[in-house]
Homo-oligomer: A and B are copies of this chain.
Amino acid sequence: MKKVAVDAMGGDFAPLEIVLGGIQAVRDYKIPIVLVGDSEQIRKILADNGEDANSLIEVIHASQVIEMGEHPGMAFRKKKDASISVAARLVKQGKCDAVVAPGSTGAAVTAGLLGIGRIKGIERPAIVTPIPNEKGGHTFLIDAGASANPKPENLLQNALLGYNYAKYVRHIKEPRVGLLNIGSESTKGSALMTETYELLSKQTWFPFAGNAEGRDIPTGEFDVVVSDGFTGNVVLKFGEGLGKLFITLLKDSIYRGGVLAKLGGLLLKPALKKYMMKKFDYAEEGGAPLLGIDGTLIISHGSSRAKAIRNAIRLANQVAEEEIPTLVKNTLNVAIESE
């Protein structure tokens, strides 16, 4: 098991839900954790739950917090003792193997970039997010918002990161990597995309499966879909909103459809939960890894509760096990030597 530092002060329900999630991860998976934040509050929650003497739980005090509204870069530089900064430093110093960062995505990306540092050869980190697909698995969208104005080289690097993630962490045998664009032909789309298409076609690190359109993300025809962070972020949030709309309309159909529809809804509910809702429940995954940094960092939603945090810690352990940074460094070295 890897040791996971958790920013216990991040997100809307910190520290209570974060600490409870940490306790669940320790109990369910025996993953050792370090809770970083206001030690007095954290210790009280641990004591209330009978976990004040668990040898798998450490507490490290941090006196500051980066708030949602703050400029991430400035706040990170100023608040040396912010919980997220201290957690990132634990990874940088080799005292922990991974960080779970709930709350501000900007603060988490900055902590990864400045606190842990980039992999040599990767210019910008990228967020990889799973989207459920028709084949029963997930399509991994990279980048979901770390870098809004990338260059073709950055997208090539995203593709390499996503490929390694799909293959080694998610155990997809031969991941199909596609480029998110507005048509299947190589000449389609913006200048950024046609140039990236060329780079992806020329590289020899992994097979390139061509352009993916928006509708291809949920089909599962591609395992990894490479995107600029702007489009990726819009797509991800749009999917979130559309998911909510579907649920609303489903409920509407049940409540407005009369007695028979209500009965139908009641009978269908357990199956809906099992086969549908679970797939769209963010907490099942718990967070999205920031790839391209020289360590493991999982970004969790600001609205994360205990279950999401438990699963984010589980994911952090999984990602750290596979040592993506080493895999990527090896690929990049090979590429440099063969040139």
A: residues with CB less than 8 A from B are 132-134, 145, 148-149, 180, 182, 189-191, 193, 213-219, 229-231, 233-246, 248-250, 252-254, 256-258, 260-261, 263-272, 274-276, 279
> A276–B264 contact, CB under 8 A?
no
> A257–B238 contact, CB under 8 A?
no
Residues of B within 8 A of A252 (CB): 275-276
**Alpha-carbon distance A145/B180, docked complex (angstroms):** 14
> B235–A249 contact, CB under 8 A?
no
> B268–A239 contact, CB under 8 A?
no
Residues of B within 8 A of A237 (CB): 213-215
**Alpha-carbon distance A258/B267, docked complex (angstroms):** 10
Residues of B within 8 A of A193 (CB): 230
Residues of B within 8 A of A258 (CB): 271
Residues of B within 8 A of A265 (CB): 264, 268
On whether A270 and B257 interact (CB within 8 A), knowing A149-B190, A149-B191, the answer reads: yes
Chain B residue at minimal CB-CB distance from A106: B183
Other contacts beyond A253-B271, A261-B270: 13, CB < 8 A: A134-B245, A148-B182, A213-B234, A213-B237, A214-B234, A215-B237, A215-B238, A235-B238, A256-B271, A257-B274, A258-B271, A261-B271, A267-B267
Residue from A145, A213, A230, A279 whose CB has the most chain B CB atoms within 10 Å = A230
How many subunits of this chain does the assembly comprise?
Answer: 2
A193 to chain B minimum Cβ distance, whole angstroms, is 8
**Alpha-carbon distance A189/B149, docked complex (angstroms):** 8
Residues of B within 8 A of A267 (CB): 260-261, 263-264, 267
**Alpha-carbon distance A254/B250, docked complex (angstroms):** 13
Contact of A233 among B214, B216, B218 (CB under 8 A): B214
Q: List 8 A-B contacts (CB under 8 A).
A: A214-B237, A215-B238, A215-B240, A230-B231, A242-B243, A243-B246, A250-B272, A263-B264
> B215–A133 contact, CB under 8 A?
no
Residues of B within 8 A of A272 (CB): 250, 253, 257
> A230–B271 contact, CB under 8 A?
no
> B241–A253 contact, CB under 8 A?
no
> A254–B234 contact, CB under 8 A?
no
On whether A241 and B217 interact (CB within 8 A), knowing A264-B264, A264-B267, the answer reads: yes
> A264–B257 contact, CB under 8 A?
no
**Alpha-carbon distance A284/B184, docked complex (angstroms):** 27
A104 to chain B minimum Cβ distance, whole angstroms, is 11
> B238–A218 contact, CB under 8 A?
yes
> B132–A245 contact, CB under 8 A?
yes
